[in-house]
Chains A and B, each alone.
Chain A
């Protein structure tokens, strides 16, 4: 029992590996659903092969599936090339018509003597538990061949996915390469059908590739990563199916792949939703904080009395900065804990109102921010006269010392130099 599970596990893992790798190219070619189409289009070929040979031998079934698969791809090409129908329609047409034909042929087979015992209907939903050592050897061989193909044609497939028109211009046979890639997908589908079935094979060709995209921006990393996610899904799904007696392996593999996707969608660094949310909140908090400090600084500077810094109410600050009042209050509280602002008694006649001003430390904190902002302003005014002024990703000024001196001079010239220096207001 355990040994059998091990065989099943290695079979599904290798299957996941190969389809993950091929799926990457399909995904980047914007044909993520090609696996779904070919998995359906392979059915009539498989049934025909069975009808002709009356056996469930892997070889003829593969040939049959590949034949109708390639026929389907050619039909798609003809439809998009010679009519105004778009790619999605061509895909749906091939999928449904070929699959309909498969269903018809299946009906014929079931009336043949011994047809009901052929187990062909298992191809619809898969039966991973039926995987035997000889199957695993076949899967291993084919998975290795498919990965080798991806490696050999790495550059060509990359071109196919990224810019087929340019590839054709370079003299590459893009249609032939397209067929080759799809043939690879068909082969993966056929070896996968027995384990996970038609629909779920489509998942193995899509989900690991989409998942891998979350973790890297490089194709050379994405390919092994998608293979890894595919293999892990195979292992996890097979393990999960050992838990209960009626747990089907194929769907569990797909659910495992979906789980990997979901976790990546949420938690991947850079591209994940949480990372994006955190980044957004951080940027907003940082911007609001510096805007408040700058506003308090400007107010104090306008009052032009370094000894008693001018104060402002949260409402006034909100109007000045565009930051909502509630957020202004939260930030003021935090700045006050940092010792950068002080609460001062409300001005006469405004009972209940609170007012805030910068402390000496606050002036020191605000000074570089204000200076930076005003340098930006001058920079935009004189961009043509200045060499090599840039801003880094955080929005900070990057310039040669000489240019910086030039900018300082321009600040003074426009009367924009910050007039409250660190140490003022003490």
Chain B
């Protein structure tokens, strides 16, 4: 079976086979099989505790897997680190850390630099470029504890940009950000897509799904559906994913794409 796929697998950014992850005894992810297409904006949605963040971390090898295999561009994750950009949840770091914005963005280059080499002029210009793209160039020398939540998010995105990866994983980048940041993120996603990058985004606001993404993974411990938004974002699939707990889901998915919202996050 594995052999049949391998020719195709090299082109696919992510192929996951029978991935199972458990904390203690409780399986958080069960038999996840997934092939993500290149050059798409891919949303991962599902209810709280559905294992969305865990799936990303398991794909990147940050949490131990009980079983299963992950390939990134046809290679094991350990050999594909440079192709992968990761944007963690904002709360995962201490923003009191003594450093400034530019320095954090330059951290995106550390993987490329390898041991002993120090970041230099090239890294600095790449970092500044990335900061400009997220509209944060004026903040380059700002201490990171002085940033708002949205600005912190943009710094993390700039760091991932500076990494210049082929596939990006973002953990809830839209959570609790202001309207300006939301626009900046959307602009960035579109730009990445235009340059043929693949972006996988953990997301939990169903109202904006149609607007942001062109490909979806519906997750609730197992993958319940995966594919182009228009095919996957259906009332049936949503009730499967969310267990029919939310009455308005069906309406939401059946409705026309909502008018552009100017509100921030949720």
Contact = CB atoms under 8 A, between A and B. Distances in A.
A84 B240 CA distance: 46
A383 interface: yes
Nearest to A84: B96
B28 to A, nearest CB: 15
12 contacts: A84-B96, A84-B145, A279-B25, A283-B25, A322-B67, A380-B222, A380-B224, A380-B240, A383-B243, A383-B244, A384-B239, A384-B240
A52 B102 CA distance: 57
Interface in B208-257: 222, 224, 236, 239-240, 243-244
B18 interface: yes
B145 A383 contact: no
Given A279-B25, A384-B236, A322 B244 contact: no
Interface in B2-31: 18, 25
Contacts of B239: 383-384
The number of chain A residues touching the other chain, given as a range, is under 10
The residue in A84, A283, A384 that gathers the most chain B C-beta atoms within 10 A of its C-beta is: A384
B224 to A, nearest CB: 8
Contacts of B244: 383-384
The residue in A279, A283, A319, A383 that gathers the most chain B C-beta atoms within 10 A of its C-beta is: A383
Contacts of A322: 18, 67
Nearest to B224: A380
A283 B240 CA distance: 28
Contacts of A319: 1
Contacts of B67: 322
A38 B262 CA distance: 54
Interface string A265-286: 0000000000000010001000
Interface string A378-420: 0010011000000000000000000000000000000000000
Nearest to A323: B67
Nearest to A382: B240
A381 to B, nearest CB: 8
Interface string A98-132: 00000000000000000000000000000000000
A262 B76 CA distance: 38
| 7 cross-chain pairs, A with B, having the tightest CB-CB distances, nearest first | A84-B96, A384-B239, A384-B244, A383-B240, A322-B18, A384-B240, A383-B243
A262 to B, nearest CB: 22
A322 B236 CA distance: 32
A145 B11 CA distance: 71
Contacts of B243: 383-384
The residue in A279, A319, A322 that gathers the most chain B C-beta atoms within 10 A of its C-beta is: A322
Contacts of B96: 84
A84 B146 CA distance: 13
Contacts of A279: 25
B48 to A, nearest CB: 18
A138 B15 CA distance: 69
Nearest to A320: B1
A322 B222 CA distance: 18
Contacts of B1: 319
Contacts of B236: 384
A346 B239 CA distance: 50
